[in-house]
């Protein structure tokens, strides 16, 4: 089975950037633009990693990405998640966010670095595979 990544991003430009960067290094990438699309895809296919935007609409108070992270944590515990956002969140404690939503990392778009992102995804895939193996043997 190839390493599968679901990118959940409403911004078409960032969909292209993330998909291009991941497919260039061999990942099998699927893209969802909304929370509902992502849920439907998770119900049909297995993914190692989900990279999700925090806000999947232009609404300032949209936190559908958070809702997705919570759903994954509860229903798909072997999937490793990464959060990405273009929004500036005043007072965001990155380490607390990572712990609370069990994400490997929180990436600000302004700080995006392709090489760091690819390395994070590789780490996320490894974590997911380990979790799958542990579930299989228990």
Can you give the pTM of this predicted structure?
Answer: 0.92
Compute the residue count for the chain.
138
Containing 30, the helix (H) or strand (E) segment is strand 28-32
List the domain boundaries for the chain.
4-137
Closest CA to 129 of 19, 49, 26: 49
Alpha-carbon gap, residue 4 to 125, rounded angstroms: 8
Q: Mean pLDDT over residues 108-115, rounded?
A: 91
Q: Where are the alpha helices (DSSP H) in 59-102?
A: 64-75, 94-101
Q: Is the pLDDT of residue 81 over 90?
A: yes
Closest CA to 104 of 117, 113, 114: 117
| Fold adopted by 4-137 | Rossmann fold (3.40.50)
Top mean-pLDDT range of 70-74, 89-93, 133-137: 70-74
């Amino acid at each position: 089975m190839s390493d599968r990544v679901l990118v959940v991003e409403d911004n078409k430009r960032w969909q292209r950037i993330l998909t291009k960067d991941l497919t260039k290094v061999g990942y099998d990438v699927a893209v969802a633009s909304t929370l509902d699309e992502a849920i439907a895809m998770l119900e049909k296919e297995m993914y190692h990693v989900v990279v999700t935007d925090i806000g999947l609409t232009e609404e300032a108070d949209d936190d559908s990405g958070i809702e997705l992270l919570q759903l994954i944590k509860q229903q798909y515990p072997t999937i490793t998640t990464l959060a990405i956002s273009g929004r500036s969140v005043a007072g965001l404690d990155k380490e607390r966010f990572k712990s609370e939503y069990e994400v490997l990392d929180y990436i600000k778009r302004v700080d995006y670095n392709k090489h760091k992102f690819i390395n994070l995804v590789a780490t996320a895939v490894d974590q997911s595979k380990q979790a799958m193996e542990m579930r299989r043997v228990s």
